[in-house]
Structure 1
Amino acid sequence: MSFSSETKNELARVEPEKKCDQLAEIAGFLRVSGSLRLTGGGNFTIVIATDNPAIARHYKRLIREYFQIDAKLEVGGAEALKKGHTYMLTISPENHSESILRETGILLVREGNNYISDGIYEELIRKKCCKRAYMRGMFMGTGSISDPEKSYHLEFACESRTLANDLKKMINSFEDLSVKVVQRRNRWVVYMKNSQYISDVLALMGAHAQMLAFENVRVQKSVFNQTTRILNCDNANTDRTLDASEKQLRAIRSLKQSGQYDRMSEKLKELADLRISNPEASLTQLGEMTDPPLGKSGVNNRMKRILSLAEKVMSEK
């Protein structure tokens, strides 16, 4: 099962207790997963579809609890598409479908005429708890999240620009959250790639187990990346040390061949001998071997004098 499916299954087990949250979650799911069928007399039948049985059971139960009606649950095959089954909840005019559309902010009135809105009804999301519930409903209907082992990406695919912009505004109203909107074919996608934002959204929606799983992967990847950076840095430092050591050894050999080595001070001879005996040692390590011990800057100054003497010898040849 994908990380996205596991997240939706966990969200389907969240039971909102407050009536305002129940309504907001139903409205969010209905907004992206519902469709309308006209029946006789200008009435509407609501059809809500999902391919997840846990989500279908969840909303059948939630609709019954809030609206006191029993939505009809049907299972339809999708063999031609090879995508398993489609679970459909149907709410007929006899079950007050029009009232439900009005209360969820989908059927509105303008200049005395009914119209179907394509955005988020502000009255439903005035409180933060309602925003979280609405987001949860929309995610179960049209959201997806990538496996954090592969990438960080969470998105909501919306049918209209208005809905995408309203969702962006709602999510961005939470402190330290930010999403973007992009058009993808005939849809507008609200998405985020920041791992901290995704973790926060999972927690806000109530997917706490998935949030912990996400954080576990995030921490492991962070530790791995940090370890890799340290190893790369160590390797680079080792390479620089070896390159510098080879240059110093060439200088010392040149001084010995020219006879200049014997004319150097005892301190410079000591350092030159230590370098020959310890070609892989750093300047700090060489300093610890001198008698008395010498700091890195002191070793560096003496080594510069050795290199300078060698350059002078080479220039006189």
Structure 2
Amino acid sequence: MATFSEEVKMTLVSTKMEFPEIELYGAIKGKGDFVIDGYRKYIKITVNSLSSMKRIYKLSKLLFGDYISAYVKMERRLRLGRVGEILLDLPSVEKIVGRENIDIYSSTLPKKIKNDPFLFGVFLKGMFLTTGSVSFKSSYHLEFFLDISEEFADDIVETFYNLLGIKSNYIIKNNKVKLYIKSSRDILNVLEVMDSHESVEKLNDIIKVRELKGNVTRTINFLTANAMKTAESSSKQINDILLIQEKIGLDNLDKNLKQIAEHRLENEDQSLKEMAEDLNIKKSTLYSRIKKIKEIAKDLEQGDKE
């Protein structure tokens, strides 16, 4: 069964190829390495998703024609399964990506991408295909594991917030940048801007179900706590009334207090709100009379101790 991350990548394969140079640039920033073979220079893009392999191969074919080579190899030692690699002629990459005024060697995000939500989404799509993942087992988590400078990471974090209002952060792990987003709503926005609409619908349904379950659990906990509080309060009131009954008898109470005491003994499980409704008195009046009963019981108890 495909993971949710793989499902997202599968949906991205069939999306429109708008600004393929920028999408390829995102893929290169995600998992691109420089390779020298004699006098030839290449950029090697490595992926461990066949869906990503298909998409990046299509992009490369569109942009470079026959100036690419692609293959799939097995990496059992690393437990990665199938790993796809695409080799692109470096001078051709510099020329074609440069048509969008993008310098692949720059340690900052191009201004045109930083200032345009659509282009930023295209860039993120390429980056997600090579190094992105989403999980929601215990908590919501989207991340990119990148071999970029901290300066470039800061640029991406700033762009996420300025363009989309998304809060992201990163840590350095094994000399690489692990850039992550934890808010479920922010993750939905990232999937949306990457054009993965099917994934948005699926994740949104999961979020709604979890929120509903959470609300039910909170309601049950609230009702349980209230029931326990009512039972505890009722128990204290009954103890006070029984003490009065034993020491002086309920007939020696004021008629209003006697009415409250007898009603409580007959209705142990009632809340104070229900008692007030049954007795047709205000809650504040009921509270005041119960307080007087408590004070009488306290005086009787202290009298026994003296």
- TM-score normalised by length of structure 1: 0.86
1:96-133 C-alpha deviation (Å, 9 max, x unpaired) = 345246447345xxxxxxxx434433345543211110
The answer on 1:162 being equivalent to 2:117 is no
1:153–1:193 contact (8 Å) kept in structure 2: yes
The worse-fitting range, judged by mean Cα deviation, of 275-284 and 218-227 is 218-227
2:72 corresponding residue in structure 1 = 75
- Pick aligned residue for 1:48 from 45, 48, 66: 45
Q: Per-residue deviation at 1:134?
A: 0.3
The worse-fitting range, judged by mean Cα deviation, of 148-157 and 95-104 is 95-104
3-state SS of paired residue (1:206): coil
Q: Per-residue deviation at 1:32?
A: 2.1
1:144-179 C-alpha deviation (Å, 9 max, x unpaired) = 111x23211111122122331222222222232121
1:7 corresponding residue in structure 2 = 8
Structure-to-structure mapping, 1:287-306, within 5 angstroms: 287-290=276-279, 293-306=280-293
1:44–1:98 contact (8 Å) kept in structure 2: no
Any gaps of 5 or more consecutive residues in structure 1? 108-115
- Distance change (3 Å), C-alpha of 1:44 and 1:99: farther
1:164–1:189 contact (8 Å) kept in structure 2: no
Q: Per-residue deviation at 1:5?
A: 1.6
Give the partner amino acid of 1:25.
E
- Pick aligned residue for 1:236 from 220, 225, 230: 225
1:281-313 C-alpha deviation (Å, 9 max, x unpaired) = 1111112222xx122222111211211222222
Tell me the percent identity.
23
Give the partner amino acid of 2:153.
A
The answer on 1:96 being equivalent to 2:130 is no
1:219-267 C-alpha deviation (Å, 9 max, x unpaired) = 2222222222222222221112111111111111111112242121222
- Distance change (3 Å), C-alpha of 1:3 and 1:10: same
3-state SS of paired residue (1:173): helix
- Pick aligned residue for 1:61 from 38, 58, 62: 58
1:249–1:276 contact (8 Å) kept in structure 2: yes
CA distance, structure 1, for counterparts of residue 247 and residue 114 of structure 2: 87
- Pick aligned residue for 1:311 from 285, 293, 298: 298
1:35 corresponding residue in structure 2 = 33
Give the partner amino acid of 1:56.
M
In the alignment of these two chains, the number of paired residues is 301
CA distance, structure 1, for counterparts of residue 44 and residue 103 of structure 2: 14
3-state SS of paired residue (2:180): strand
1:113 corresponding residue in structure 2 = none
2:20 corresponding residue in structure 1 = 22
The answer on 1:270 being equivalent to 2:259 is yes
Structure-to-structure mapping, 1:249-264, within 5 angstroms: 249-264=238-253
- Distance change (3 Å), C-alpha of 1:280 and 1:173: same
3-state SS of paired residue (2:72): strand
The answer on 1:225 being equivalent to 2:214 is yes
- Distance change (3 Å), C-alpha of 1:248 and 1:207: same
CA distance, structure 2, for counterparts of residue 251 and residue 238 of structure 1: 20
- Distance change (3 Å), C-alpha of 1:255 and 1:106: same
RMSD over equivalenced CA pairs, Å: 2.2
CA distance, structure 1, for counterparts of residue 208 and residue 21 of structure 2: 36
2:241–2:297 contact (8 Å) kept in structure 1: yes
CA distance, structure 2, for counterparts of residue 88 and residue 175 of structure 1: 32
Give the partner amino acid of 2:143.
E
2:161–2:167 contact (8 Å) kept in structure 1: yes
CA distance, structure 1, for counterparts of residue 22 and residue 115 of structure 2: 10
3-state SS of paired residue (1:86): strand
Give the partner amino acid of 1:3.
F
